[in-house]
Amino acid sequence: MEFITFEQQDFVGIITINRPKALNALNSSVLEELDQTLDQVDLSNTRCLILTGAGDKSFVAGADIGEMSTLTKAEGEAFGKKGNDVFRKLETFPIPVIAAINGFALGGGCEIAMSCDIRICSDNAVFGQPEVGLGITPGFGGTQRLARTVGVGMAKQMIYTGRNIKSDEAFRIGLVNAVYPQEELMDAAKKLASTISMNAPIAVRNCKKAINDGLQVDMDAAIVIEEKLFGDCFETEDQKAGMGNFLEKDKEKKLKVVPFQNK
Ligand code: DAK
Protein backbone atom coordinates (compact mmCIF):
# COMPACT_ATOMS: atom_id res chain seq x y z
CA MET A 1 0.00 0.00 0.00
CA GLU A 2 1.18 3.49 -0.80
CA PHE A 3 -0.81 5.65 1.59
CA ILE A 4 -1.90 3.46 4.52
CA THR A 5 0.20 1.65 7.08
CA PHE A 6 -1.12 -0.93 9.53
CA GLU A 7 0.65 -1.95 12.69
CA GLN A 8 -0.50 -4.57 15.18
CA GLN A 9 0.41 -4.13 18.86
CA ASP A 10 -1.07 -6.95 20.94
CA PHE A 11 -4.84 -6.73 20.42
CA VAL A 12 -4.69 -3.19 19.01
CA GLY A 13 -4.42 -2.34 15.33
CA ILE A 14 -3.02 1.08 14.36
CA ILE A 15 -4.03 2.47 10.97
CA THR A 16 -2.04 5.49 9.79
CA ILE A 17 -3.04 7.61 6.82
CA ASN A 18 0.33 8.37 5.34
CA ARG A 19 0.27 11.12 2.75
CA PRO A 20 2.01 13.91 4.66
CA LYS A 21 2.95 15.98 1.56
CA ALA A 22 -0.75 16.72 1.11
CA LEU A 23 -1.43 16.84 4.86
CA ASN A 24 -2.99 13.36 4.53
CA ALA A 25 -5.82 14.60 2.28
CA LEU A 26 -8.17 11.88 1.15
CA ASN A 27 -7.91 11.07 -2.55
CA SER A 28 -9.48 8.01 -4.20
CA SER A 29 -6.36 5.91 -3.62
CA VAL A 30 -6.31 6.68 0.12
CA LEU A 31 -10.00 5.78 0.38
CA GLU A 32 -9.49 2.57 -1.59
CA GLU A 33 -6.50 1.52 0.52
CA LEU A 34 -8.33 2.34 3.74
CA ASP A 35 -11.22 0.19 2.56
CA GLN A 36 -8.87 -2.71 1.81
CA THR A 37 -7.05 -2.29 5.13
CA LEU A 38 -10.30 -2.54 7.07
CA ASP A 39 -11.22 -5.68 5.11
CA GLN A 40 -7.89 -7.23 6.07
CA VAL A 41 -8.08 -6.61 9.83
CA ASP A 42 -7.84 -9.97 11.60
CA LEU A 43 -10.85 -9.77 13.90
CA SER A 44 -9.84 -12.95 15.70
CA ASN A 45 -6.80 -11.10 17.02
CA THR A 46 -7.77 -7.41 17.06
CA ARG A 47 -10.10 -5.82 19.60
CA CYS A 48 -9.67 -2.12 19.01
CA LEU A 49 -8.37 0.10 16.21
CA ILE A 50 -6.63 3.46 16.33
CA LEU A 51 -6.87 5.72 13.28
CA THR A 52 -4.32 8.51 12.97
CA GLY A 53 -2.43 10.60 10.41
CA ALA A 54 1.29 10.60 9.61
CA GLY A 55 3.40 13.58 10.69
CA ASP A 56 2.85 16.09 13.45
CA LYS A 57 0.85 18.70 11.56
CA SER A 58 -2.23 17.03 10.22
CA PHE A 59 -4.64 14.21 10.91
CA VAL A 60 -6.50 14.61 7.59
CA ALA A 61 -6.81 18.02 5.84
CA GLY A 62 -9.97 16.96 4.03
CA ALA A 63 -10.91 15.38 0.77
CA ASP A 64 -8.33 16.04 -1.94
CA ILE A 65 -9.32 19.40 -3.42
CA GLY A 66 -7.07 18.93 -6.46
CA GLU A 67 -8.73 15.65 -7.35
CA MET A 68 -12.22 16.99 -6.68
CA SER A 69 -11.75 20.23 -8.62
CA THR A 70 -12.28 18.62 -12.03
CA LEU A 71 -15.01 16.13 -11.16
CA THR A 72 -18.23 16.03 -13.14
CA LYS A 73 -21.54 15.69 -11.27
CA ALA A 74 -21.48 11.92 -11.85
CA GLU A 75 -17.85 11.60 -10.75
CA GLY A 76 -18.53 13.79 -7.70
CA GLU A 77 -21.37 11.49 -6.72
CA ALA A 78 -19.17 8.40 -7.18
CA PHE A 79 -16.37 9.99 -5.11
CA GLY A 80 -18.88 10.89 -2.40
CA LYS A 81 -20.24 7.33 -2.40
CA LYS A 82 -16.74 5.84 -2.12
CA GLY A 83 -16.00 8.03 0.89
CA ASN A 84 -19.36 7.42 2.48
CA ASP A 85 -19.03 3.65 2.06
CA VAL A 86 -15.62 3.60 3.75
CA PHE A 87 -16.72 5.96 6.53
CA ARG A 88 -19.77 3.83 7.18
CA LYS A 89 -17.57 0.73 7.26
CA LEU A 90 -15.52 2.43 9.99
CA GLU A 91 -18.62 3.51 11.89
CA THR A 92 -20.13 0.03 11.83
CA PHE A 93 -16.83 -1.84 12.16
CA PRO A 94 -17.39 -4.65 14.67
CA ILE A 95 -14.75 -3.37 17.11
CA PRO A 96 -14.25 0.15 18.52
CA VAL A 97 -12.22 2.65 16.51
CA ILE A 98 -10.40 5.53 18.26
CA ALA A 99 -9.46 8.57 16.19
CA ALA A 100 -6.13 9.98 17.42
CA ILE A 101 -6.35 13.43 15.84
CA ASN A 102 -2.85 14.86 15.59
CA GLY A 103 -3.44 18.19 13.83
CA PHE A 104 -5.78 19.44 11.08
CA ALA A 105 -9.12 17.63 10.87
CA LEU A 106 -10.87 19.66 8.22
CA GLY A 107 -13.76 18.75 5.94
CA GLY A 108 -13.40 15.03 5.21
CA GLY A 109 -10.86 14.91 8.07
CA CYS A 110 -13.43 16.03 10.61
CA GLU A 111 -15.95 13.70 8.97
CA ILE A 112 -13.73 10.61 9.13
CA ALA A 113 -13.00 11.38 12.80
CA MET A 114 -16.74 11.52 13.47
CA SER A 115 -17.13 8.07 11.90
CA CYS A 116 -14.93 6.70 14.69
CA ASP A 117 -16.32 5.69 18.08
CA ILE A 118 -14.08 7.90 20.20
CA ARG A 119 -12.10 11.02 19.34
CA ILE A 120 -9.07 12.28 21.25
CA CYS A 121 -6.74 14.97 19.92
CA SER A 122 -3.46 16.79 20.32
CA ASP A 123 -3.37 20.37 21.53
CA ASN A 124 -2.50 21.62 18.01
CA ALA A 125 -5.59 20.01 16.45
CA VAL A 126 -7.92 22.17 14.37
CA PHE A 127 -11.42 21.12 13.36
CA GLY A 128 -13.81 22.51 10.79
CA GLN A 129 -16.19 21.94 7.93
CA PRO A 130 -14.96 24.57 5.42
CA GLU A 131 -16.90 23.17 2.44
CA VAL A 132 -19.29 26.08 1.93
CA GLY A 133 -16.23 28.23 1.19
CA LEU A 134 -15.37 25.79 -1.62
CA GLY A 135 -18.87 25.88 -3.09
CA ILE A 136 -19.97 22.47 -1.85
CA THR A 137 -21.73 20.92 1.11
CA PRO A 138 -19.94 18.52 3.46
CA GLY A 139 -20.12 15.29 1.46
CA PHE A 140 -18.83 12.56 3.72
CA GLY A 141 -21.58 12.65 6.31
CA GLY A 142 -20.66 15.96 7.99
CA THR A 143 -24.15 17.44 7.88
CA GLN A 144 -25.45 14.32 9.64
CA ARG A 145 -22.74 13.25 12.06
CA LEU A 146 -21.73 16.72 13.31
CA ALA A 147 -25.32 17.51 14.29
CA ARG A 148 -25.58 14.17 16.07
CA THR A 149 -22.23 14.69 17.85
CA VAL A 150 -22.28 18.32 19.00
CA GLY A 151 -25.99 19.20 18.64
CA VAL A 152 -27.91 20.87 15.85
CA GLY A 153 -27.23 24.51 16.74
CA MET A 154 -23.47 24.19 17.07
CA ALA A 155 -23.24 21.98 13.96
CA LYS A 156 -25.20 24.51 11.90
CA GLN A 157 -22.98 27.33 13.12
CA MET A 158 -19.79 25.44 12.23
CA ILE A 159 -21.08 24.33 8.83
CA TYR A 160 -22.72 27.63 7.75
CA THR A 161 -19.71 29.75 8.80
CA GLY A 162 -17.03 27.28 7.72
CA ARG A 163 -15.06 28.56 10.71
CA ASN A 164 -12.32 26.37 12.16
CA ILE A 165 -12.14 25.65 15.88
CA LYS A 166 -9.16 24.74 18.03
CA SER A 167 -8.76 21.72 20.28
CA ASP A 168 -9.99 23.45 23.46
CA GLU A 169 -13.26 24.47 21.80
CA ALA A 170 -13.62 21.01 20.24
CA PHE A 171 -13.37 19.60 23.76
CA ARG A 172 -15.82 22.13 25.16
CA ILE A 173 -18.51 21.26 22.61
CA GLY A 174 -17.99 17.51 22.93
CA LEU A 175 -16.41 16.90 19.54
CA VAL A 176 -13.44 15.24 21.28
CA ASN A 177 -13.26 13.40 24.59
CA ALA A 178 -9.82 14.65 25.61
CA VAL A 179 -6.91 16.86 24.52
CA TYR A 180 -3.26 15.87 25.05
CA PRO A 181 0.10 17.50 24.38
CA GLN A 182 1.10 16.37 20.88
CA GLU A 183 3.87 14.06 22.11
CA GLU A 184 1.51 12.26 24.49
CA LEU A 185 -1.37 11.65 22.08
CA MET A 186 -0.40 8.25 20.69
CA ASP A 187 0.50 6.85 24.11
CA ALA A 188 -2.88 8.03 25.39
CA ALA A 189 -4.64 6.42 22.41
CA LYS A 190 -2.78 3.15 22.92
CA LYS A 191 -3.57 3.15 26.65
CA LEU A 192 -7.26 3.71 25.93
CA ALA A 193 -7.27 1.03 23.23
CA SER A 194 -5.46 -1.38 25.52
CA THR A 195 -7.99 -0.78 28.33
CA ILE A 196 -10.83 -1.51 25.91
CA SER A 197 -9.10 -4.61 24.56
CA MET A 198 -8.74 -6.08 28.06
CA ASN A 199 -12.52 -6.24 28.40
CA ALA A 200 -14.67 -9.04 27.05
CA PRO A 201 -14.54 -8.59 23.27
CA ILE A 202 -17.96 -10.04 22.55
CA ALA A 203 -19.51 -7.71 25.14
CA VAL A 204 -17.61 -4.68 23.79
CA ARG A 205 -18.71 -5.45 20.23
CA ASN A 206 -22.29 -5.89 21.35
CA CYS A 207 -22.15 -2.57 23.23
CA LYS A 208 -21.00 -0.80 20.06
CA LYS A 209 -23.77 -2.39 18.04
CA ALA A 210 -26.40 -1.65 20.68
CA ILE A 211 -25.42 2.03 20.89
CA ASN A 212 -25.14 2.50 17.11
CA ASP A 213 -28.28 0.59 16.15
CA GLY A 214 -30.29 1.95 19.07
CA LEU A 215 -29.61 5.54 18.05
CA GLN A 216 -31.35 4.91 14.71
CA VAL A 217 -34.72 3.93 16.22
CA ASP A 218 -37.19 4.99 18.92
CA MET A 219 -36.61 4.05 22.56
CA ASP A 220 -39.01 1.07 22.57
CA ALA A 221 -37.24 -0.48 19.59
CA ALA A 222 -33.84 0.50 21.00
CA ILE A 223 -34.49 -1.36 24.25
CA VAL A 224 -35.37 -4.49 22.26
CA ILE A 225 -32.05 -4.17 20.41
CA GLU A 226 -30.26 -3.94 23.76
CA GLU A 227 -32.15 -6.95 25.15
CA LYS A 228 -31.10 -9.13 22.23
CA LEU A 229 -27.45 -8.11 22.37
CA PHE A 230 -27.45 -8.52 26.18
CA GLY A 231 -28.89 -12.03 25.80
CA ASP A 232 -26.33 -12.82 23.13
CA CYS A 233 -23.52 -12.45 25.72
CA PHE A 234 -24.79 -15.33 27.85
CA GLU A 235 -23.28 -18.82 27.60
CA THR A 236 -20.10 -17.29 26.19
CA GLU A 237 -16.73 -18.12 27.73
CA ASP A 238 -16.38 -14.41 28.50
CA GLN A 239 -19.57 -14.22 30.49
CA LYS A 240 -18.77 -17.38 32.43
CA ALA A 241 -15.19 -16.28 33.17
CA GLY A 242 -16.13 -12.69 33.97
CA MET A 243 -18.90 -13.56 36.41
CA GLY A 244 -17.07 -16.63 37.76
CA ASN A 245 -14.07 -14.55 38.74
CA PHE A 246 -16.28 -12.10 40.59
CA LEU A 247 -18.18 -14.82 42.44
CA GLU A 248 -15.02 -16.66 43.47
CA LYS A 249 -14.02 -13.52 45.41
CA ASP A 250 -10.46 -14.43 44.56
CA LYS A 251 -8.70 -11.07 44.69
CA GLU A 252 -5.59 -12.43 43.02
CA LYS A 253 -7.59 -13.92 40.19
CA LYS A 254 -9.74 -10.83 39.82
CA LEU A 255 -6.61 -8.78 39.28
CA LYS A 256 -5.40 -11.11 36.56
CA VAL A 257 -6.36 -10.49 32.99
CA VAL A 258 -9.38 -12.61 32.18
CA PRO A 259 -8.59 -14.72 29.13
CA PHE A 260 -11.51 -13.38 27.21
CA GLN A 261 -12.35 -15.10 23.94
CA ASN A 262 -12.94 -13.57 20.55
CA LYS A 263 -16.06 -14.67 18.70
N1 DAK B 1 -6.49 18.58 -0.69
C2 DAK B 1 -5.35 18.52 -1.41
N3 DAK B 1 -4.17 19.01 -0.99
C4 DAK B 1 -4.13 19.59 0.22
C5 DAK B 1 -5.28 19.69 1.04
C6 DAK B 1 -6.51 19.15 0.55
N7 DAK B 1 -7.63 19.15 1.26
N8 DAK B 1 -4.92 20.34 2.17
C9 DAK B 1 -3.61 20.62 2.05
N10 DAK B 1 -3.12 20.18 0.88
C11 DAK B 1 -1.78 20.29 0.39
C12 DAK B 1 -1.48 21.73 -0.08
O13 DAK B 1 -1.94 21.93 -1.40
C14 DAK B 1 0.04 21.75 0.00
O15 DAK B 1 0.56 21.07 -1.13
P16 DAK B 1 1.87 21.65 -1.92
O17 DAK B 1 1.50 23.00 -2.35
O18 DAK B 1 2.97 21.62 -0.88
O19 DAK B 1 2.08 20.66 -3.03
C20 DAK B 1 0.35 20.88 1.21
O21 DAK B 1 -0.84 20.10 1.42
C22 DAK B 1 0.58 21.70 2.46
O23 DAK B 1 -0.53 22.58 2.62
P24 DAK B 1 -0.33 24.16 2.88
O25 DAK B 1 0.91 24.66 2.24
O26 DAK B 1 -1.62 24.80 2.52
O27 DAK B 1 -0.11 24.18 4.46
P28 DAK B 1 -0.50 25.33 5.47
O29 DAK B 1 0.09 24.93 6.76
O30 DAK B 1 -0.17 26.69 4.94
O31 DAK B 1 -2.10 25.26 5.60
C32 DAK B 1 -4.24 24.11 5.86
C33 DAK B 1 -2.70 24.09 6.14
C34 DAK B 1 -4.82 22.78 6.30
C35 DAK B 1 -4.88 25.24 6.67
C36 DAK B 1 -4.45 24.37 4.36
O37 DAK B 1 -3.66 23.43 3.62
C38 DAK B 1 -5.87 24.19 3.95
O39 DAK B 1 -6.69 25.07 4.17
N40 DAK B 1 -6.18 23.02 3.33
C41 DAK B 1 -7.50 22.78 2.80
C42 DAK B 1 -8.41 22.41 3.93
C43 DAK B 1 -9.81 22.19 3.44
O44 DAK B 1 -10.48 23.11 2.92
N45 DAK B 1 -10.28 20.96 3.64
C46 DAK B 1 -11.59 20.62 3.27
C47 DAK B 1 -11.57 20.02 1.92
S48 DAK B 1 -13.20 19.84 1.32
C49 DAK B 1 -18.10 15.13 -1.38
C50 DAK B 1 -17.25 14.32 -0.74
C51 DAK B 1 -16.41 14.85 0.18
C52 DAK B 1 -16.34 16.16 0.45
C53 DAK B 1 -17.24 16.97 -0.20
C54 DAK B 1 -18.12 16.46 -1.09
N55 DAK B 1 -18.96 14.61 -2.36
C56 DAK B 1 -18.42 14.29 -3.63
C57 DAK B 1 -20.34 14.33 -2.06
C58 DAK B 1 -15.38 16.69 1.35
C59 DAK B 1 -14.85 17.89 1.11
C60 DAK B 1 -13.68 18.36 1.82
O61 DAK B 1 -13.09 17.68 2.64
Q: Is the CB of 130 under 6 A from ligand 1?
A: yes
Pairing of the two strands 12-17 and 58-60: unpaired
User: What's the pLDDT score for residue 246?
Assistant: 85
Ligand 1: distance of its center to the CA of 25 in Å? 6
One-letter amino acid at 17 equals: I
H helices, E strands: number in the chain:
12, 10
CA-nearest residue for atom 49, ligand 1, is 139
Predicted confidence (pLDDT) per residue in 166-185, tens digit: 999 999 999 999 999 999 99
Going by C-alpha positions, the residue among 94, 86, 138 that lies closest to residue 115 is 86
Arithmetic mean of pLDDT, 238-256: 74
Q: Is the pLDDT of residue 256 over 50?
A: no
Query: DSSP string covering 181-206, please?
Result: -GGGHHHHHHHHHHHHHTS-HHHHHH
The structural architecture, per CATH, of the domain 201-256 is Orthogonal Bundle (1.10)
Kindly give the interhelix angle for 237-247 and 201-214, rounded to the nearest 10 degrees.
110
Listed by start position, the domains of the chain span 4-197, 201-256
User: What's the pLDDT score for residue 195?
Assistant: 96
Query: Confidence band (pLDDT; 50, 70, 90) for 261?
Result: low
Asked if the domains at 4-197 and 201-256 fall in one CATH topology, the answer is no
Query: Confidence band (pLDDT; 50, 70, 90) for 257?
Result: very low
Q: Is the pLDDT of residue 242 over 90?
A: no
Ligand 1: distance of its center to the CA of 196 in Å? 33
Q: Is the CB of 54 under 6 A from ligand 1?
A: no
**What is the distance between the alpha carbons of residues 138 and 102, in angstroms, rounded to a whole number?**
21
Arithmetic mean of pLDDT, 140-161: 97
Predicted confidence (pLDDT) per residue in 175-214, tens digit: 999 999 999 999 999 999 999 999 999 999 999 999 999 9
Ligand 1: distance of its center to the CA of 140 in Å? 15
Ligand 1: distance of its center to the CA of 63 in Å? 7
User: What's the pLDDT score for residue 249?
Assistant: 77
Q: 7, 75, 111, 252: which is the annotated catalytic residue?
A: 111
Q: 2, 67, 77, 131: which is the annotated catalytic residue?
A: 131
- Catalytic, 111? Answer yes
**What is the distance between the alpha carbons of residues 101 and 24, in angstroms, rounded to a whole number?**
12
Q: Is the CB of 142 under 6 A from ligand 1?
A: no
- Catalytic, 77? Answer no
Exposure string over 229-239, b if 16+ CB within 10 A, otherwise e: beebbeebebb
Residue, of 142 and 254, whose pLDDT is higher: 142
Share of the chain above pLDDT 70, in %: 95
Q: Is the pLDDT of residue 45 over 50?
A: yes
Dihedral of the alpha carbons of 32, 38, 40, 42, in degrees to the nearest 10: 170
Which CATH number applies to 4-197? 3.90.226.10
Q: Quick one: which atom of ligand 1 is closest to the CA of 71?
A: 56
Q: Is the CB of 103 under 6 A from ligand 1?
A: no
Q: Is the pLDDT of residue 110 over 80?
A: yes
Arithmetic mean of pLDDT, 74-95: 94
Using a 10 angstrom Cβ sphere, with 0-12 exposed, 13-18 middle and 19 or more buried, the burial of residue 26 is: buried
Average pLDDT, the chain: 94
User: For the chain, what is the largest distance between any 2 Cα atoms, rounded to a whole number of angstroms?
Assistant: 66
Rg of the chain, C-alpha, whole Å: 19
Ligand 1: distance of its center to the CA of 13 in Å? 27
User: Do the beta carbons of residue 90 and residue 116 sit within 8 Å?
Assistant: yes
User: What's the pLDDT score for residue 251?
Assistant: 56
Q: Is the pLDDT of residue 229 over 50?
A: yes
User: What's the pLDDT score for residue 262?
Assistant: 58
User: 10 Å Cβ neighbour count for 246?
Assistant: 11
